[in-house]
Amino acid sequence: ILLIATLLRLALNVASTRVVLLEGHTGSDAAGKVIQSFGEVVIGGNYAVGLVVFLILMIINFVVVTKGAGRISEVSARFTLDAMPGKQMAIDADLNAGILTQEEAKLRRQEVGSEADFYGAM
């Protein structure tokens, strides 16, 4: 159900954007009755109210995106830092098995260290 609702919302967004871009310059209701009706309800005949509603929606969007990005960075940092000991042990095992040379192992350890520093800074 969620997928269907998302697809319908996406279709509505694409259709309304297409109408606005192709026919938005040809009259008062050229952008479509739905868009005009929604604009009249939101603005209510007063541009100040419309501006306030727009600012509120913009702030809410900003907060949601910021929180989501912060959470994504926390989770990715957690997973990456949790995997670090395993990566170090794999490098040591490859070195002991003769798969890696001393220089290759040193380079891989530096890569793991820089990755840890990057994700640790998040």
Query: CA-to-CA distance for 50 and 105, rounded, in angstroms?
Result: 61
Q: Which residue type is seen at 111?
A: E
17 in the same domain as 67: no
65 in the same domain as 12: no
25 in the same domain as 68: no
Q: Please count the structural domains in the chain.
A: 2
60 in the same domain as 18: no
38 in the same domain as 13: yes
- Domain residues for 9? 1-45
34 in the same domain as 67: no
pLDDT digits (tens, 9 = 90+) for 59-107: 999 999 989 888 888 888 888 888 888 999 999 999 899 898 899 999 9
pLDDT digits (tens, 9 = 90+) for 13-42: 898 888 777 776 676 666 667 777 777 777
Residue 93 CA neighbour count, 13 Å, CB half: 6
58 in the same domain as 12: no
